[in-house]
Structure 1
Amino acid sequence: MTRLSGIRARLAGLAAALICWTAAAVAQGGVDPSLPAAQDAPQPAILVADDVFLSGNEQLVATGNVEALYDGRRLKASRIVYDRTTETLRVEGPISLEEADGSMLVLADSAELDREMKNGLLKGARIVMDDQVQLAANELARVNGRYNQLYKAAVTSCRVCNSQSPPLWQLRARRVVHDQQEKQLYFDDAQFRVLGTPVFYLPRLRLPDPTLERATGFLVPSLNNSSLLGFGARVPYFIRIGDHKDLTVTPYLSTESRTLELRYRQAFRTGTIEVTGALSDDDIGGRSFKSYVFANGTFALPRDFTLRFDIEAVNDDTYLLDYGYSEKDRLDSEISVERARRDEYIRVALTGFRSLRAGESNSTLPTIVSNGEYERRFQLGYAPGGEIRLGVLSHAHYRSSNLAVDGADFDPFADGRDVARFTVSADWHRSWTLGPGVLTSAQVGLAIDSFHVQQAGVTSRSEAVEVTPSASVELRWPLLKTSSAGATHMIEPVMQLSWVGGSNPLVPNDESTRIEFDEGNLFATSRFTAPDRRERGFNSAYGISWTRYGNKGWQSTFAVGQVVREEAQIDPAGGFAFTNSSGLQDRYSDLLIAGQFKTDDGLAITARGLFDDDFVTTKAEARASWRNDRATVGGTYIWLRNDPAEARPNNISEWAFDASYRLSRHWTGSADWRYDVASDESVRAGLGVTYTNECVDISLSASRRFTSSTILVPSTDISFTVGLRGFTTKTRDKSYVRTCEQ
């Protein structure tokens, strides 16, 4: 009985030791078996074999379909011999070990190990890491429980079907040392081969272990050719500063530019920051030394507050567009603090603007803007019920110009006035349902606006206070029906009556200069974007919507609405308060029509438009897209009537198309095109093709910008990028992986 118990103990110990060593040997972040932490490994281990016996008193032998299970790992071999005298293990293959999570597979012909499993030798070893990178060698030596040395090794992430056909790419080396603690691969006398042909030689090379998420080293380089910047290359280098911060340095050298691009990221306990920027010395005109910096961050503050900031700065107006960093032509930098709770919202923000557009002067534009907002709601548990909403708004903007009016062009919007506004409001809201299912909501409110204007000139008062009472009633009657075919229809007519008292004070309209009239504000008491202007008098709005939900996943929506006023809105400075293209300038607004159609196979169509009394389009936009497993296609159309009041002297009519199609298993094509119908010329166009499989990602793209101005010239850009999957990127989509022919 004692002899049998001893055999069982040896079997369990043998199985546990084998699995622990092999897991460490392939550097999957396992714990060295010699460390105390290994004692915490789950027990028991299981060893199964066709035959298990003692050879004398010193050797324990397991033969025939030997399988060891421990902590979810599975080791298979044909024979295992443990010699207690020499304290060694001999494992005869074929040997295979699979991790519990499937991230690693080890194959070998045979192995000899010491008792502590810190040193040993595997013959004909092959390791697959992260189901991606394969390491094959004649011998694999385990050294001091940390290093794995592979001799005459080949490394690739390509699918290897047989020994006769070389992989698409591979690294051949006299020796590869794998540091499992640092998760690094070191190559001696390495050759990079493409289809078996040596391309270049490196006496020393270091690459991160594929299981390492972040490691210092080179990222995917790219070749670029630009009609502005000439031919050049980008070679990004990633620097892991610590567990929570990193820096990416990208030298970009071309025939016309010397550029250094930077990106810094850091994660804190309560937030994150990211900074990107570049420094350039080029020969394309303007400044010879150019730079930009974009930064953003978010931090959680005490008492549920959130701090956000972003910085956007550049020292040349065309730098961002010329180098492809951004298409923004108006930069904004902002810092804000906000808190949102169930019955309360607080936000304060300070914003700085800078225009890069030709013809716009930053001295006469509001470049520094502050905003503050507070809203609190209270539920009334007594008559008349409903809820009370209290709000406070503050706004101020500053212009650096000292002129009251810009005499050069007499543009009332191009002066140096500075405006501050403070608003307090109180509103009562309540909703209920009338007998036939009519949803009714009512609102009564009072707002007080105070304005202070510096450098007001002759067209505005310096001080103004306005008291604005308001009231509204809204009725909705949703009607629902299910057809015999299983489709559900819902028709909902809506009617709103509202009244807003007071009058707009004689202060400049600096905030409500662009009005968007759509489904979102059709039933608002005022469609101005800020309290410096309000719709006054009696108003009504009506509309009806129809929605259909099909039994096959199809969904369609159609809505139409209009606003009717007691009288047209007149601005205190003269003329209509709304611009001609807003759709709201007359007593009867333009007719708002909107629709949407979706199917379960990826088709989506959305459109909306404003139409005047003669059913002539004022504004219109439409978007159609279709997506499936192979293709993504989309098109957008925009129409805007000319309106000098909105700095739009000509009509805008533009088409934009974008598409991506998977041509075959490994090839994907893409295209985009933007066309200006009004001027009958292209704005931008691009083509691209990408080849992707399990071990490589190759992209070639070309784009052309046709626009020109006093500071911009048309340009053409061509980019070529090659990424080796397994080290630089992962293959998550298994549909790209090649298969081996049987």
Structure 2
Amino acid sequence: MRAEGAVSRKSTRRGRLLAGAALLACVPVSVLAQTAPSPIPPAAVQDGLAPDAIYIEADNAGREGDVISATGERDRVYARFQGHSLRGRAVTYDLAKGIGTADGDVELVDPDSNTVFASHLELDSDLRAGVAVDFATRTANGASLMAATAVRRSENVNELNYALFTPCPICDDAGNPKTPSIAIQAEKVVQDEELRAVLYRNAVFKVGGVPVFWTPFFAHPDPTVDRASGLLVPIFNYDDGRGVSVETPYLQVISPSEDWLISPQFNTRVLPFLNLQWRRRFANGMIVARGGFTYAQNFGNFDLNGDGQAESNVDFGDRTSRSYILAHGRFDPEGPWRFGFTAERTSDKTLFDRYDVIDPYQDNGLYYGDQRRLISQLYAERQTARSYLSIAAFSIQSLRVAQFNDVTPALNIFESDGALPLVAPLIDARWEPSGPVLGGRLRLRGSAVSLYRDEYFGSPVLRPEIIPTTASPFGLPGVDSRRVTGQIDWRRTLISPSGIRYEPFVDGRFDVYSVADLPPVLGLEDETITRSRATIGLDVSYPLIRRLSDGADIIVEPLGQISVSTDPDLDPRIPIEDSQTLELDESSLFRIDRFPGYDLLEGGVRITAGVRTTLRWAEGRTASLFVGRSMRDAEQSAFRIPIPDAPNSLYDPSGLAAQTSDWVVQASFQPSDRIRGWGHATVDGSGDIRRAEMAVDGRWGRRNLATLSYIVDRSNPLDGPGNRNYEFVQLAGQQFIAGNWGVAVAGIADLERDLITRSEVGIVFDDDCFRVEVGYRRDNTRVSPTGPSDGAYFRLNLATFGGSGYGSNGLR
């Protein structure tokens, strides 16, 4: 009984001491800051004190021999010595020994602005050792370390007894102590500033003040450390193909500029998969290389018994190495040149989907791969105030599905890499003279490219006129092409006294193409083709603004353009490599060449008109609307391509082939700082939407938010297996219901197929210190070889310690 009573009294005393430390850590935020007569001077300020001098401000002060004593009745004593600032109710300082003592609401600030709170504090002459009671300190990132007693053993080692560490807030908004959401309490804690680590003995992990785990020893990096070797938060997942999956990342820091991330993935149904990442910074650049490896069979869904239904998670094929690499580097030495590379390849087109590799499709380098396409490139750039030059070469690996299998995604047919071009080289150059030419801006531009294909590829690269109609495309060689372009562009801005803006422009362009391996069945040989085009035109705009009675502004800006060009001579033998995708919007509608790239260009007489209206009112709230359209003197049939499911029929995916283009409608609005949205659509002459995209973001409360987006493409007029029209709605949001508890949802609905392709719903706990999310998700995409899958997911993010899968990154 006496032993139990001793333990009880010991625990009570320890609890009181930790409560006192927490109170001291909270009070300086409110009460002490209000009672201080003046702010503590920043540590970097030169106060002019000699190394052995001390400055004191106090209500009462006295000296007996070498000992100076000071007390504060209304305000705390303020003392400054050796670059340190000290506050307390009672302070003594021994000038001979250089020892300082402080009691009562003690606050010590060192030259690096680190702050320590205590009820009693002692410091030695070198300020390298000391003793503190009710010790508390707070780091810049908000983490707190408290102890009943603390001893500074040396310049680099702090020893704390009955200590508590938490990365979470320990004070409420009123400055009162509160129980941290996550904390580590230990019998002894050693903070080694040289090792930059915190070591614990008999550590107890607490969640909401409740003990949940005990360990005799534990260590983690000092909160001031940016990076340190050690285990990161594991990533938990479930997939019908892999089963339960746990990824355990380990970070190995080699130096301040280099580290490794070793992240094995362990699965219950298939063999493990190892992910690696190496990062290295140099004086003028950096390299990041990711890779993954396993030695296993493939797995997926197959119809083994011929009943038309695919059995789940079937291993097939021989065990073999399966791997990927995703690497990029960029170097920017002194001078105008910089250079870099990307290396992106995978041995299996479904590897990322099978093993749920995190964020494999990133935009790095000078040129970006499309979604589900990997690009490997070398490039160099030279840029000055008046010139630019880039030289690059790249190849592409496609992970896109060309033909979906109705029984199982494991039998999908993927886009052939041989049908994609090898680009080497691709050169782009621009130059402008330092001064105006004829009162305007002159720009010279040059471009050159060579493309090589191993396999034949028809529409839309080849024009309908040279696509074989009888011969099978199998066995035909891939078409190679080379192009050199020179261009001159002049533009001048003039503003009339009434505010009308005039911009006359002149453009001239000359192309040379060399095309090889055209389909021999048509009797075509290697061809050299030249073409030229000259354009003259005028842009006119007239912004009108009116102040409304309630302080709002409305701006109406009519826009117009007239351009006259020579015949563009769209030779059907020229492959269309860089102009297949057109985004017709407000910015591109008034360009001379609205197609990206060089292979397609426009000519003839064109008139383009539009109007932009903007409404602005209080506190930065805005709404705008643009409507515009273009007309030409003759149709451009070269812009039409064969319908995939009816090659003898043509359609216009661009909206520019007819004499009148599609209408362009574009809008944005922000009625408050919590709601914003935008939309864009192209509408054909009959009023049907060809393409549209819109999104709305909303926030309410402190952490509630939602995003809703919609995208549609209805440009292909004929249904069939080759029709790639689409219509999607995507939703993501979170709503907190009670305190820190809430619900998170995310999903993508394929309206074209009447199917929810991805969905998640989960319960969230988030208190700004850590976030945990547990829920259910289902994947109905047709790309994953394991077919539709569902299961539970778990995501965790801890302040200071890092996170695992924070957010809904899986909805890609």
The residue that corresponds to 1:740 in the other structure is none
Whether the 8 Å contact between 2:423 and 2:449 is mirrored in structure 1 is no
Whether the 8 Å contact between 2:440 and 2:490 is mirrored in structure 1 is yes
The residue that corresponds to 2:673 in the other structure is 601
* Residues 316-715 of structure 1 mapped to structure 2, 5 A cutoff: 316-322=348-354, 323-325=356-358, 326=360, 328-359=371-402, 360-368=415-423, 370-378=425-433, 384-401=438-455, 410=472, 416-433=478-495, 437-458=499-520, 462-485=526-549, 486=551, 487-505=553-571, 506-551=573-618, 553-571=620-638, 579-628=651-700, 629-643=702-716, 649=723, 651-663=725-737, 665-693=739-767, 695-709=769-783, 711=785, 713-715=787-789
Give the partner amino acid of 2:85. R
Compute the displacement of 1:161 (Å): 7.5
Q: Secondary structure, in 3 states, of the residue corresponding to 1:241?
A: strand
Q: Distance in 1 between matches of 2:534 and 2:187?
A: 84
Q: Which moved more, 1:186-195 or 1:243-252?
A: 186-195
Q: Distance in 2 between matches of 1:575 and 1:159?
A: 63
Q: Which moved more, 1:468-477 or 1:665-674?
A: 665-674
Summarize deviations over 1:511-534 as a string: whole Å, max 9, x none: 322333222222223333232232
Q: Secondary structure, in 3 states, of the residue corresponding to 2:401?
A: coil
Give the partner amino acid of 1:469. R
Matched, 1:73 2:82: no
Compute the displacement of 1:259 (Å): 2.4
Compute the displacement of 1:595 (Å): 2.6
Question: % of aligned pairs identical?
Answer: 23
Unaligned runs of 5+ in 2: 1-43, 300-314, 362-370, 403-414, 459-466, 644-648, 804-812
Compute the displacement of 1:456 (Å): 1.5
Q: Secondary structure, in 3 states, of the residue corresponding to 1:621?
A: strand
Give the partner amino acid of 2:229. T
Q: Which moved more, 1:64-73 or 1:579-588?
A: 64-73
Whether the 8 Å contact between 1:498 and 1:540 is mirrored in structure 2 is no
C-alpha change, 1:158 and 1:103, in structure 2 (3 Å) is farther
Count the aligned residue pairs.
Answer: 689
Whether the 8 Å contact between 1:668 and 1:689 is mirrored in structure 2 is yes
Compute the displacement of 1:690 (Å): 3.3
Q: Distance in 1 between matches of 2:801 and 2:511?
A: 61
Match of 1:312 among 344, 347, 352: 344
Summarize deviations over 1:543-587 as a string: whole Å, max 9, x none: 333333335644332222222222222339998999422212222
C-alpha change, 1:493 and 1:536, in structure 2 (3 Å) is closer
Compute the displacement of 1:603 (Å): 2.8
The residue that corresponds to 2:332 in the other structure is 300
Q: Distance in 1 between matches of 2:675 and 2:171?
A: 40
Q: Distance in 2 between matches of 1:597 and 1:707?
A: 33
The residue that corresponds to 2:27 in the other structure is none
C-alpha change, 1:430 and 1:96, in structure 2 (3 Å) is same
Q: Distance in 1 between matches of 2:170 and 2:489?
A: 71
The residue that corresponds to 2:257 in the other structure is 244
The residue that corresponds to 1:187 in the other structure is 200
Q: Which moved more, 1:157-166 or 1:341-350?
A: 157-166
Q: Secondary structure, in 3 states, of the residue corresponding to 1:363?
A: helix
Whether the 8 Å contact between 2:375 and 2:395 is mirrored in structure 1 is yes
Q: Distance in 1 between matches of 2:505 and 2:66?
A: 93
Compute the displacement of 1:187 (Å): 2.1
Compute the displacement of 1:362 (Å): 1.1
Compute the displacement of 1:300 (Å): 0.9
Give the partner amino acid of 1:375. R
Give the partner amino acid of 1:293. I
Q: Secondary structure, in 3 states, of the residue corresponding to 1:188?
A: strand
C-alpha change, 1:155 and 1:406, in structure 2 (3 Å) is farther
Q: Distance in 1 between matches of 2:147 and 2:159?
A: 9
Whether the 8 Å contact between 1:656 and 1:673 is mirrored in structure 2 is yes
* Residues 58-97 of structure 1 mapped to structure 2, 5 A cutoff: 59-63=67-71, 66-70=77-81, 71=83, 73-80=85-92, 82=94, 87=97, 89=99, 91=101, 93-94=103-104, 96-97=106-107
Whether the 8 Å contact between 2:642 and 2:651 is mirrored in structure 1 is no
Summarize deviations over 1:575-605 as a string: whole Å, max 9, x none: 8999422212222222333333332333333
The residue that corresponds to 1:291 in the other structure is 323
Give the partner amino acid of 1:303. G
Give the partner amino acid of 1:255. T
Summarize deviations over 1:331-350 as a string: whole Å, max 9, x none: 12222222344432212221
Whether the 8 Å contact between 1:210 and 1:727 is mirrored in structure 2 is no
Summarize deviations over 1:308-339 as a string: whole Å, max 9, x none: 32222111111212314236421122222223
Unaligned runs of 5+ in 1: 1-37, 730-742
Compute the displacement of 1:493 (Å): 3.6
Q: Secondary structure, in 3 states, of the residue corresponding to 1:556?
A: strand
Summarize deviations over 1:121-152 as a string: whole Å, max 9, x none: 44443444447444344432332433222234
Q: Distance in 2 between matches of 1:430 and 1:79?
A: 74
Q: Distance in 2 between matches of 1:267 and 1:149?
A: 35
Whether the 8 Å contact between 1:338 and 1:348 is mirrored in structure 2 is yes
C-alpha change, 1:668 and 1:310, in structure 2 (3 Å) is farther
Q: Distance in 2 between matches of 1:115 and 1:275?
A: 50
C-alpha change, 1:714 and 1:451, in structure 2 (3 Å) is same
C-alpha change, 1:259 and 1:407, in structure 2 (3 Å) is farther
C-alpha change, 1:197 and 1:426, in structure 2 (3 Å) is closer
Q: Which moved more, 1:702-711 or 1:345-354?
A: 702-711
Give the partner amino acid of 2:158. N
Normalising by structure 2, what TM-score?
A: 0.76
Q: Distance in 2 between matches of 1:663 and 1:267?
A: 45
Give the partner amino acid of 1:571. A
Compute the displacement of 1:354 (Å): 0.7
C-alpha change, 1:591 and 1:136, in structure 2 (3 Å) is closer
Q: Secondary structure, in 3 states, of the residue corresponding to 1:521?
A: helix
C-alpha change, 1:575 and 1:674, in structure 2 (3 Å) is closer
Q: Distance in 2 between matches of 1:250 and 1:119?
A: 41
Q: Distance in 2 between matches of 1:630 and 1:723?
A: 16
Matched, 1:135 2:207: no
**RMSD (Å), alpha carbons:** 3.8
Compute the displacement of 1:478 (Å): 0.8
